[in-house]
Structure 1
Amino acid sequence: MQFDAFAQQKAIDAKPKKISPDLFGIFFEDLSYAADGGLYAELVQNRSFEYNPADNRDWNSMTAWKYQTDGFGYGTISVETANPIHQNNPHYILLDIQDAGQKGVGLENGGFDGIPVRGGKYYNFSVFLNVISSQPLPLTVSLVDTKGRELGTASFTASAKGWKKYSEKIKVNFDEDSAMLQLLVKSPGKVGIDMVSLFPEETFKNRENGMRADLAQTIADIKPKFMRFPGGCLTHGDGVANIYHWKNTIGPVEQRVEQRNIWNYHQSVGIGYYEYFRFCEDIGAKPVPVVAAGVSCQNSGGTWKIGSTGQKGIPMEDMDAYVQDILDLVEYANGPVTSTWGAKRAAAGHPAPFNLEYLGIGNEDKITGVFEERFRMIYDAVHKAHPEIKIIGTVGPSPNGEDFDKGWKLANQLAVGTVDEHYYEKPEWFLKNTSRYDGYNRLNSKVYVGEYASWGNTLFNALAEAVYMTNLERNGDVVRMASYAPLIARIGHTSWNPNLIYFDGKHVFPTVNYYVQQQFASNAGDEYLPGIINFTSADTTAGASCVKDSVTGDVILKIANAGSTQLFGTANLAKLGKLAQKATFTIICGDAKVANTAAHPAEVLPKTTVINMPKQWKFTVPAYSLSIVRIKAGK
């Protein structure tokens, strides 16, 4: 991969160059309760009674539920599997109410650390019921506070033999951060209960089975060019049986196949592939699904360390079917409504294609013979059937080493269009490796930095990443894409730190790193302009880039200073043609150790003003700062 790097870099920096228009995006993985209890707007936990000890040794079908008999009613409750809604959703609750008492007998759910509701808002409740007794059953569904005060309620009657969905709208009259949902049967009888659901009426873009509005909007505000999903380690799973299969996640939610999460909790797959594609479309990001390369995570079995050997391969006799599943995924995303899988997309509510352009195969896998054989099978089949799809390979979990070298060797042999590099390192590593991609051969595979972070959420961490990102722009002809990871994490349930965005049931807390990512993604360009910005002295803790957005004609300057002293420099704009005489100037700065936290969420925020922009701009940037200057094309 190395050759005359100095000569190459001197040549490519001598004149403007086209860079990837998809450079800065996001990576979503369902860890740290990012989906259920997070981005997914469902407020009921364990809505289908499918939790079990395989998810978490302390869990069972009644986790998050309470049998409610406060009004002196009585009967029996049991978890059954004999006659479920669907074979993919085998567990349900059977209530046999012998005396309904004063209030009724039923179930209570506390959601994810309580159900937050707001007075004056409406919430959409639904449940599947199977009335087994001979008489119709009156029911109430209520939201109550911790003292039992009713916040909002609705009543209905269930009479259908066999499973039927019932839906009600509940208006909440009071604010409550830790409400509980109660479903009570008001007369004696026997009934099966499953898929107990509560959504806020206001989801992101008002989508049915949608996303939590405030959290989704925070993600959308990054203005990412792409979104990788459904995960990294989650994708190839904890053992072959736990590999993520996209077909299990589409169709009616009550028919989807739930499964254990590799991060030791449960996936309802309420956010399935349809919802992922739809969310990408809603935020203007290109979808980048990642499928397992026919092998499980090398850390399967709980051995989480570099070079672990828990990797297992899908049996070769099953690989043809697995490869076909991946080809079917492309058809689901892009096929016409007359195709088998395009028709399923249309039936879900999206007859137009999702315009899939990228497909990842594998996730930081150990590059073994088992992996290589299966990767080749998948790559060859997809490349042959869909040469229009840009395939992203993988080169292991580290920025160097045996798997990295083997992964690159395989990518070069197959001429894989892009490979996925991952690295989580100290901030000092990012400052010392700003020339990492200078010597990469421009004729080889392009790079997707699919996961990176600098092990912290202080301003210094964010600025070290910013310095590095200016150099990703400088090498934007070889680095096609980059995404910080992980994206979001629920406070109190974090599987990994740091994260870009933290949240609880009521609030969202963007980190300083978030604002850096936002500034780069929303101020991206597709042409790199060399030699525009010059510092008056060399500094290894600083970085700068100048890019142009060919769509708007805007020129964007980025100057990152992760050092403890102010920096001076000049920007020569005279050779860039006619530009506006004023520019928007955005700065992020502060103390190196400061961080945005739940207790102090706004310690460091971007501040934007308008400044005069001369052709020869002499600038001074503060210590520990990122400055963004956006200049519109002149008229």
Structure 2
Amino acid sequence: MFVMKQITLPLIGFITSFIITISSGWPIVNENNINVVSLNIENANTGQIIPSTMHGVILETNVNRDDDGGLYAELVYNRAFQEKGQSLDGWSSFGQGSIALSPFQPLSSALPVHLRYSLIEKSISPSGFRNNGFYGINIQAQNYTASFFYRALGEAYVAGGELSIGFSDSTGQIIYGISTIDVSVAPVDKWFPFSFTIPVLNGTSSVKNFFFIKFPPGSKGDFEFNLVSCFPPTYKNRVNGARIDIAQAFADLKPGYVRLPGGNDLEGLTIPERFIWNNTVGLLENRPGRRGTWTGYNTEGFGLIELFTFVEDIGATPVLAVYAGYSLDGKAVPQDELQPYIDEVIKELDFLTASASNNSMGVLRERLGRSQPFDIKYVEIGNEDIFAADSYSYRWPAFYNALSQRYPNITFIATTTKSINTPPAVDDHDYQVPLFFIENFRRYENIPRPSPKVLVGEFSVINDDDSKISNPFGAGRLDYPSIKSAVAESIYRIGFERNSDIIIGGCYAPVLQNIFNTQWTPNLIVFNTSSVVKSTSYLAQKMFGQNLGNIILNSTATNSSFTHQSVQKGQEGDGKLGNLYFVATKLTHESTLILKLVNADSNDTYVRVQVQGTTLCCEGFMEILTAGSGVDPTTVHNTISNPNAASIYRRPFWSINGAFSITVPSWSVMVVTLPL
């Protein structure tokens, strides 16, 4: 990704539904103001294979507060006081005590400062400190898991020996959930861990809430805390896991792969601030984190094992990006100093993939709770090295030669071919206007075979104004995807499926955006403290991801000016006719036709479909995403204030002897499924 932009909100639209009536023979259609197409599909049980990785996602840590304060379910902001160069940001005291940072005798070398709460005089009222969370705290009727490290200094004492920990409203008067913890068991002057449950019986719709730690009256002295943490229930009940609604939004896409951990955050702002894998595993108190590449501080609480476990949990294939000796300050590791960085990647891959029976890194992984190796098929070396092509000319071969010999079953992906010889695979990134993706529909079929495989690791429409094709990052930059942008991206995706012999897969980028902390727009999924919005681009990708065939079926489209027999590969009628784009695929184990159609025309397109080789008369279904008749597709966006401006509509239809007719609305994405 290349630039940053602020965000604004609204705009609405609507969806209309389309009902098809089938009579004997073809239905009668008024051909005024409508395009008419005949589509012929050849049923088969073999054909060009479509990989399961075809439609994926990227999980670039840190951008738009997508992990800390987003996918990572931690509720406490600045839990180890690392934000803003070490601070108490997000924390405040109430009652008689005061809070301050202390560096003395830290919890660990990774977490060098902590909070000291001081009651100089014996308290006469409940006192303590509280945290306002990441832009508030969502409190629902459920159990929360909280923890912290605690140390009482010298003669400090807690009256009655018990602290109260829970949630309150912004005034502190309404308590939503509370637990009492006996801290008298902690030895004096020594760090001691506490973990406990906070039950909440009645939630609240407001997120203006606090997490608090309260001392009873009569307490006095200095008390220290670090790694103050609280989690709601997590996706698949993982410890240190993911926020359920955001994780489910990922899972509902049925992504074929997840590219992680970036992106720019892989490279870091400087070489020392790169993604260092072994700093992201193990006990949280031993993870130092680092300055965020995009925003704030990156705790790396959602570290390497958590990321890979999440990918497994949503049924996707990981595409691991590894640091390749270049960071965002423009500095590259000199050629004669690369070996330690190559060794770092070897240890990372061994940690993830090696057996625990005969490899020290595998043993480490098992000791951290994961005995089974992860299945890694793809590794990308670097990120966007087109901006550092001169040094990539020596960095790529150094990494690739060492890694490919050690891991022969992994496909290694280069980030550019500008300065290197033909790699096994290459990653393309495109941020553009709709016209670019429409005009590049045949981009990948025009690549001579054989050629390197292609991962389209980042792409999206970022500006709906086609006149800005030479500079889409300028005026008119989108805050949210529109129907027009979703249509253009879907045309590009059809190109991916048609060229599945070389395309590993493609993914929209970025995926996540915290509405309160945004550096890049537009994004696939927008969220705040309590809700998730699925953009038009999300809905279009969901239609593709949930309806993925495993082979391509031959198909041709014609109108009154030519026949199916005259259609030539790569010409009109092959994959597109006018402004209608299509791909026919089959899910062979279910014997189901999956037909994807995208209309980039201002008029509806009436399509008469004939599937050769089937005599079934049966019901099929179509899913439709469209702005609606007469609605400008650039004006329809799903936003925080209007999350359902566009929706997917599902409608049945009837096929007789493999023949059926459908109307593909103007500026729409449609997926048709039919038993064969």
Normalising by the residue count of structure 1, what TM-score does the alignment of the two structures yield? 0.88
Q: 624, 643, 647: which is aligned to 1:587?
A: 624
SS of match in other structure, 2:459: strand
Q: Choose 1 or 2 for highest CA Rg.
A: 2
Structure 1 Cα separation of the partners of residues 332 and 112 of structure 2: 28
Q: 187, 196, 199: which is aligned to 1:160?
A: 187
| Stretch of structure 1 that moved more, 202-211 or 467-476 | 467-476
| Deviations 1:66-94, CA, capped at 9 Å, x for gaps | 1x132xx24x5431223122111111112
Alignment of 1:374-389 (within 5 A): 374-389=395-410
SS of match in other structure, 2:585: strand
Say if 1:533 and 1:546, in contact at 8 Å, map to a contact too.
no
SS of match in other structure, 1:177: coil
Counterpart in 1 of 2:651? 609
Instruction: Give the drift of 1:536.
Output: 6.2
Alignment of 1:198-209 (within 5 A): 198-200=230-232, 202-209=233-240
SS of match in other structure, 1:99: coil
Letter in 2 for 1:129: Y
SS of match in other structure, 2:208: strand
Structure 2 Cα separation of the partners of residues 80 and 417 of structure 1: 52
Counterpart in 2 of 1:220? 251
Structure 1 Cα separation of the partners of residues 151 and 616 of structure 2: 69
Instruction: Give the drift of 1:534.
Output: 4.8
Counterpart in 1 of 2:131? 109
Q: 558, 569, 572: which is aligned to 2:607?
A: 569
Structure 2 Cα separation of the partners of residues 392 and 227 of structure 1: 14
Normalising by the residue count of structure 2, what TM-score does the alignment of the two structures yield? 0.82
Instruction: Give the drift of 1:578.
Output: 6.8
Q: Is 2:556 the partner of 1:526?
A: no
| Deviations 1:327-376, CA, capped at 9 Å, x for gaps | 12221221112222222222232211211111111111124332221221
Alignment of 1:449-464 (within 5 A): 449-455=456-462, 456=478, 457-464=481-488
> CA separation of 1:181/1:523 partners in 2, compared to 1, >3 Å: closer, same or farther?
same
Instruction: Give the drift of 1:481.
Output: 1.1
Structure 2 Cα separation of the partners of residues 550 and 357 of structure 1: 24
Counterpart in 2 of 1:490? 514
Q: Is 2:553 the partner of 1:541?
A: no
> CA separation of 1:77/1:485 partners in 2, compared to 1, >3 Å: closer, same or farther?
same
Say if 1:532 and 1:572, in contact at 8 Å, map to a contact too.
no
Letter in 1 for 2:79: R
Counterpart in 1 of 2:661? 618
Say if 2:592 and 2:675, in contact at 8 Å, map to a contact too.
yes
Q: Is 2:362 the partner of 1:332?
A: no
| Stretch of structure 1 that moved more, 539-548 or 599-608 | 539-548
1 or 2 for the larger relative contact order (CA 8 Å, sep ≥6)? 2
Structure 2 Cα separation of the partners of residues 250 and 37 of structure 1: 19
Say if 2:654 and 2:660, in contact at 8 Å, map to a contact too.
no
Alignment of 1:201-350 (within 5 A): 202-297=233-328, 300=329, 311-316=330-335, 318-338=337-357, 339-350=359-370
| Deviations 1:264-290, CA, capped at 9 Å, x for gaps | 321010110001100000000011111
> CA separation of 1:440/1:578 partners in 2, compared to 1, >3 Å: closer, same or farther?
farther
SS of match in other structure, 1:573: strand
Number of positions where the alignment pairs a residue of Structure 1 with one of Structure 2: 580
| Deviations 1:485-505, CA, capped at 9 Å, x for gaps | 000101121110000010000
Counterpart in 2 of 1:355? 375
| Stretch of structure 1 that moved more, 612-621 or 214-223 | 612-621
Say if 1:431 and 1:540, in contact at 8 Å, map to a contact too.
no
Structure 2 Cα separation of the partners of residues 155 and 472 of structure 1: 57
> CA separation of 1:536/1:125 partners in 2, compared to 1, >3 Å: closer, same or farther?
farther
| Deviations 1:222-275, CA, capped at 9 Å, x for gaps | 000110011111111112122111111011111112111111321010110001
> CA separation of 1:313/1:527 partners in 2, compared to 1, >3 Å: closer, same or farther?
same
| Deviations 1:189-234, CA, capped at 9 Å, x for gaps | 222210001111x211111101000111011100001100111111
> CA separation of 1:580/1:325 partners in 2, compared to 1, >3 Å: closer, same or farther?
farther
Q: Is 2:47 the partner of 1:16?
A: yes
Structure 1 Cα separation of the partners of residues 540 and 559 of structure 2: 21
Structure 1 Cα separation of the partners of residues 591 and 363 of structure 2: 40
Say if 2:135 and 2:516, in contact at 8 Å, map to a contact too.
no
Say if 1:103 and 1:184, in contact at 8 Å, map to a contact too.
no
| Deviations 1:104-133, CA, capped at 9 Å, x for gaps | 443211001111102x32111111112222
Alignment of 1:476-487 (within 5 A): 476-487=500-511
| Deviations 1:25-46, CA, capped at 9 Å, x for gaps | 1011120010011001000100
> CA separation of 1:245/1:580 partners in 2, compared to 1, >3 Å: closer, same or farther?
farther
Q: Is 2:153 the partner of 1:132?
A: yes
| Stretch of structure 1 that moved more, 36-45 or 323-332 | 323-332
Counterpart in 2 of 1:467? 491
Counterpart in 2 of 1:150? 175
Structure 1 Cα separation of the partners of residues 56 and 152 of structure 2: 49
Structure 1 Cα separation of the partners of residues 559 and 245 of structure 2: 40
> CA separation of 1:535/1:319 partners in 2, compared to 1, >3 Å: closer, same or farther?
farther
Query: Identity across aligned pairs (percent)?
Result: 29
Structure 2 Cα separation of the partners of residues 64 and 107 of structure 1: 11
> CA separation of 1:78/1:599 partners in 2, compared to 1, >3 Å: closer, same or farther?
closer
Letter in 1 for 2:271: V
Say if 1:360 and 1:392, in contact at 8 Å, map to a contact too.
yes
> CA separation of 1:349/1:216 partners in 2, compared to 1, >3 Å: closer, same or farther?
same
Say if 1:437 and 1:475, in contact at 8 Å, map to a contact too.
yes
